[in-house]
Amino acid sequence: MDRKEFLAGLGISAASFTLLNCAGCAKSEEGPSSVLSGPVNVNFTLDLNASANASLLNNDGFLISNDVIVVRKSTGNFIAVQRSCTHENYSLTYQSSNSRICCSNHGATFSEGGTVSNGPASRSLSVYKTELTGTILRVYS
């Protein structure tokens, strides 16, 4: 094998390797970006007297249940939004100090009402209704 044949073979091998790696980078329909909206047909209750739900006894407390973030705002009212970011489906968290919902992966932020306040997300969160009866909080679509 002469130098020219060797370099030609090396070039084909490198091109094949690059092509295979690039094909592996393509987004899958089953990956993080495939589910960008929250759960549908939501209907569950939380007993605020249960120790698992104790964080909701305090203003600015929150918890995650059934892929929904449930927050007791500083005013005492409850809000409920989807748990996953509408940008790439990563988990969100509530920041009580800023009264916003945040994605730590790409920096997207949402208001307590679910609207985008900072990208890269461009779609609002699914928002669910809440109803408090005694110590039972119902979260529903």
Both tokens of residue 15? 């091109």
Give percent of the chain with pLDDT exceeding 90: 49
Domain with residue 56: its CATH number is 2.102.10.10
pLDDT higher at 11 or 65: 65
Global confidence as pTM: 0.72
Residue 1 lies in a domain: no
Asked whether residue 128 is domain-assigned, the answer is: yes
Q: Is residue 32 part of a domain?
A: no
Q: Is residue 10 part of a domain?
A: no
Domains: count for the chain: 1
Which DSSP symbol is given to 57?
Answer: G
Distance (Å, whole) CA 106 – CA 40: 25
pLDDT value of residue 11 = 53
| pLDDT band at residue 52 using 50, 70 and 90 as cut-offs | very high
CA distance 37 to 126: 6
Q: Is residue 20 part of a domain?
A: no
Q: Give residue 100's domain range.
A: 43-140
Q: Looking at the predicted structure, is the pLDDT value of residue 21 above 50?
A: no
Q: What is the pLDDT of residues 28-49, one digit of tens each?
A: 333 444 447 788 899 999 999 9
Interval 57-79: pLDDT, tens: 999 999 999 999 999 998 999 99
25-60 residues labelled b (16+ CB within 10 A) or e (exposed): eeeeeeeeeeebebbeebeeebebeeeebeebeeee
What pLDDT does 33 receive?
41
- Residue 125 belongs to a domain: yes
Strand ranges for 8-141 from DSSP E: 43-47, 62-65, 68-72, 78-82, 92-95, 100-103, 109-111, 116-118, 127-133, 136-140
